[in-house]
Amino acid sequence: MTAQEGFAVDPWSVTEHRLDLAQLARSESVFALSNGHIGLRANLDEGEPHGLPGTYLNGVFELRPLPYPEGGYGYPESGQSVINVTNGKLIRLLVDDEPFDLRYGELHGHRRSLDFREGVLRREAEWTSPAGRTIRIRSSRLVSLTQRAIAAVDYEVEAVDGPVRIVLQSELVANEQLPNSDGDPRASAVLEAPLEAEAHHAHGTQGSLVHRTRFSQLRVAVGMDHVIEGPDGVSVTSESRHDQARINVTTVLQPGQRLRMVKFTGYGWSATRSVPAVRDQVEAAITAARYSGWDGLVAEQKAYLDEFWSSSDIEIDGDVELQQAVRFALFHVLQASARSEERAIPAKGLTGPGYDGHSFWDTETFVLPVLTYCLPGAVAQALRWRHSTLPLARERAAQLGLAGAVFPWRTIRGEECSGYWPAGTAAFHIGADIAVAAARYVRVTGDVDFERSYGLELLVETARMWRSLGHHDPTGRFRIEGVTGPDEYSAVADNNVFTNLMAQTNLRAAAEAVGRHQLEAAALGVDTEETAAWRDAAAAMFIPYDEKLGVHPQADGFTDHQLWDFEGTPQEKYPLLLHYPYFDLYRKQVVKQADLVLAMQLRGDAFSAEQKARNFAYYERLTVRDSSLSACTQAVIAAEVGQLDLAYDYTAEAALMDLHDLGGNTRDGLHMASLAGACIALVSGFGGLRDHGTVISFRPRLPAGLVRLAFSMRVRHHLLHVEITHERTDYTLREGDKLRIAHDDEELWVEVGAPVQRPTAVPEASERLPQPPGREPARRTSQAGPTTGSGVSSAEHLPAE
């Protein structure tokens, strides 16, 4: 099975029509279910065979040491790794004393499907045991978007060709044995037996386990209950021990008879509450789920998703595969964030242990912009989590000799977990990324209470950091030196354009917010002198420019560096970070991921149209896309400068990152930033959405391969629908009263019941820009398939330290 052949193309679902044991881990990520609190990898119900077992709770981690051959001041002392918590998915099946294991006997068919409108993973299988007994299995699994602590499984066994004795063992299992790491530095650190038993219980159809992590001291409780339907004479027994609780169900099925078990599983954790309190919370959640019943949970799930899709769908005509991919993307971004509730949104969501479960700047720069317009409540939750970590960020700033707050490059709870300081400590732009996300949220939603209670302090403390990190040189320019921008193939550079422009936005937004909330700002110790200093720094921000080449260097001196030898770099040496020393990458002109180009996307108001075109052409030939964060940004700017077919190719790469496993590491979890980025590529690229100021603007353009693009977005109390064809663009206000927007620089008022239509411009055709040899994106055709080009996009972020 190739990556492209793995899943059937359908606009509303992902379906796997046969089981490929070699691709199990990848499928477990693709079919993973989550609600932002609980994450279940799509392991088979019976537990084995598996690729990578995984059950995750957002915020539950274990500490691990960060060894340093040579110590240094300010190095983090320990890291944080997401752990595989108690597995409540397991329902083992014995058929006449033989375990149902797909590696043995004869598998006549196996199908799994996830419908994005239903949010339920459905599975069907028919199997003949080595002893010749045939059974059919049907199972459905969900993680509730409405009942935060609940996951449930509906499992049914049917006898086909003769009487058969069936035993179901529904289990909770802690400290599962995990496969050994393959040495990929992007994968999670494997932690053995991180849970210490505190309580266990089983009685009737119920069971529970309570554990505590050994070093981080987090208490985890998991409980289960069951509803069982079958022929007369079904036997039910229960048992428990430290790391296992089990409910045994036994019966004999005649041909055509079925045994059905509905399993309700509840999850909870706390750093402070007692064993009884956490256990009781879980048992109460299970009681509520049993009250709803399986059918009730499914109905709630569908109702939740109906509402989401009615206001957040992105519709595409002309490319069914891309339509499937973008809905897959939206669905998983929703799953990663819907019920995170003041916890981080990790780079992999809760679909796998990649990057140790850490949250990076990806969340604020790629995921939150999408959620701001479709699920703004999740954005407020994510930013409140950042706000809750401010005490740690202030401590880190003081440790580094800076004012304000320094947020971590990678973290779960708020402490810096990167032992590689050129990318970790020096990547100060994360502060501005958070501040800009907060300012965007307030601007789009009008949530003044959030700004007063949370956003203001985030803006103030990050502005203080920038003012202390940078300085005015003798000519009066404000410089920020010795920092690392988004491109991780450059480090500890002076005046990174992205960093400086984002810091400028941060400083201005902080000063403006202080003006709106003077009493609250005074309570934070802000005075007029400090806000004046922020405004002065923003006004004097130094943005390097290479007059000779007519482009912006990524940072001071970047365009003077030696060019990387792209012609002499074989394809098997990508991603470069796994085959070449960083010192060589740092001193050459080679770009891992969009940096200057990302600055043009997020701060397009700081560049002229001619500068954007020249900059994009210059950096296209240097960008190798060894990061999944790059293609979506290149898509946006390619569309803006008129390279529509190239933008189309990059959009597809971002959207298909996991469905086609382009990076070769989907097994470790999905790439949330790339999935969100695919949505950005469509809406901001071909839709031309820009939200730099108070008026949201659009500059629609469509590539030849797409017939129609439509999307909806929430702006304050309005719901705006935008529909783009090659001939015209329609703006329809579905909720609200009237909204001011801009179309190709023309300001318009859109009112409910009065759609506005404008022609869709067609940019002048230009010669396709080249990329580094062998790093061209796969070409798309109007029939929605890749044609030529490598389509390779590899690692994301840095290797695990």
Place of tokens 């806000």: 531
- Other beta carbons within 10 Å of 336: 30
Residue 253 three-state SS: strand
Q: How far is it, in rounded angstroms, from Cα 129 to Cα 383?
A: 52
CA 376 to CA 717: how far, in whole Å? 11
Tell me the C-alpha distance between 546 and 536, whole Å. Answer: 24
Which regions of 305-375 does DSSP assign to beta strands (E)? 314-317
Report which of 379, 380, 438, 389 is spatially closest to residue 416, judged by C-alpha positions. 389
CA distance 170 to 147: 21
Helix (H, G, I), strand (E, B) or coil at 349: coil
Element (H, E) at 715: strand 708-715
Q: For residue 486, is the peptide bond before it cis, meaning its omega torsion is within 30 degrees of 0?
A: no
| DSSP per-residue letters across 616-677 | HHHHHTTB---STTSHHHHHHHHHHTT-HHHHHHHHHHHHTTTTTTTTS-GGG---HHHHHH
Alpha carbons 141 and 42: distance in angstroms, whole number = 9
Tell me the H-state helices in 361-445: 362, 368-374, 376-388, 390-399, 429-445
Cβ neighbors of 106 (< 8 A, separation 6 or more) are: 127, 128
Residues involved in catalysis: 488
Q: State whether residue 375 is helix, strand or coil.
A: coil
In order of 70, 344, 456, the CA distances from 459 in angstroms are: 36, 19, 5
Distance of CA 646 to the CA centre of its chain: 24
Rg (CA), the chain: 27
Residues 6 or more apart whose CB falls under 8 angstroms from that of 790 comprise 571, 774, 775, 776, 778
The tokens for 114 are 């996830």
Amino acid at 508: R
**Position of tokens 């869709």?**
760
